[in-house]
Amino acid sequence: MRCVRVLLAKKGRAKYLSHLDMQRLMMRAVRRAKIDLWYTEGFNPHPYLAFALPLPLGVESECEPIDIRLEGDATNEQVRDALNAVMPEGLEITSVIDPVNKPGDIAFARYDIELYPFDGAVEKIKTALESGNLPAEKLGKSGRHKVVKQVNIAEMMGYWAVEEKDDSVNIGIVLAAGSQKNASPFLLLEALSAVTGERMEYRKITRKGLLLANYRKF
C-alpha cells in the first residue's frame, strides 16, 4: 500500500458540486480509471480517499489535494493520466505527488475574488480591509449544539491586494484555512458587505493555493 496526493483543478460548472458530491464523484472516477485501490480490512472494506480541505460550493480551485491509498505499482504519472482520461467536464488532475505535509498542516488558503463593480469599490474595500475590524457571524458547533459565533475576519487574514480591472473588482487575499481556524471567502464578502453597506456580488471566486503556517506552499 502507498499513499498518493492527487491535485485537482475544479473549473466552470463543476464548481456547483458540493464537497459530498465530490467525494462520491472521485470514488467513481477512481473506479472508472481501474486504479488498483487499497481497501480497509474491517468488516465493511472500503477504499481510502480523503480531501484535504473542503472547498465551498460555488468556488473554483486550482489545487485541491486528495489523498488516495493504492495497491500495485502504477507510477504517479500513470495514475494522473488514467484519472484524466475519465474525469467529467471541469475537473482535471494537474499532478499526482508523494505527500510531504499532512492535511492538518494547512493554515491558509489564497483566493482570487472577482466582484461586479460598484461606485468607489476599490477604496471602500481597501478601507474596510485596513480597518482591522471585520465582524462576521459564523455558524459553529459547541459540543452537539449549533451556535452562532462572532468572529473578526481581520484577524483571520494574511496579505491582500485590491484592484479594478476591466469591468470587475479583484481581491487577492490569504485567509485562514484548516480545521483550527477557517474563514471562507463568502464570510469575508458578508463582512465587507456589512461594513461598506454595498452588495458584494461575485462573478468568480478561485482558490489559488493552500499554504502552511509559514506561508510556504502546502
| 41/89 with CB nearer other proteins | 89
- Give me the least distance between CB of 114 and other proteins, in Å please: 12
**88 or 99: CB nearest other proteins:** 88
d(CA 7, CA 140): 29
Q: From CA 142, how far away is CA 130, in angstroms rounded?
A: 31
| CA 133 to centroid of chain Cα atoms | 24
User: What number of CA atoms fall less than 13 Å from residue 4's CA on the CB side?
Assistant: 24
CB of 215 to other proteins, least distance (A): 30
Compare residues 35 and 154 and give the one whose CB is closer to other proteins. Answer: 35
Minimal distance, residue 144 CB to other proteins, in Å: 25
Do β-strands 60-70 and 145-152 pair in parallel, antiparallel, or remain unpaired? unpaired
Distances, alpha carbon 85 to alpha carbons 79, 80, 165, in Å:
10, 9, 36
Is the CB of 18 or the CB of 75 nearer to other proteins? 18
Q: What residue ranges bind other proteins (CB under 8 A)?
A: 12-14, 16-18, 20-21, 24-25, 27-32, 39, 45, 57-58, 86, 88-90, 201-203
Q: Are strands 106-115 and 202-212 parallel, antiparallel or unpaired?
A: antiparallel
CB of 28 to other proteins, least distance (A): 3
Give the 3-state secondary structure of residue 82.
helix
Backbone angles phi, psi at 36, to 5 degrees: -75, 105
181 or 203: whose CB is closer to other proteins? Answer: 203
Work out how close the CB of 129 gets to other proteins at its nearest, in angstroms, rounded to a whole number.
22
The smaller minimum CB distance to other proteins, of residues 88 and 132, is found at 88
Least gap, CB of 148 to other proteins (angstroms): 21
Side-chain half-sphere exposure of 182, counting CA atoms within 13 A: 17
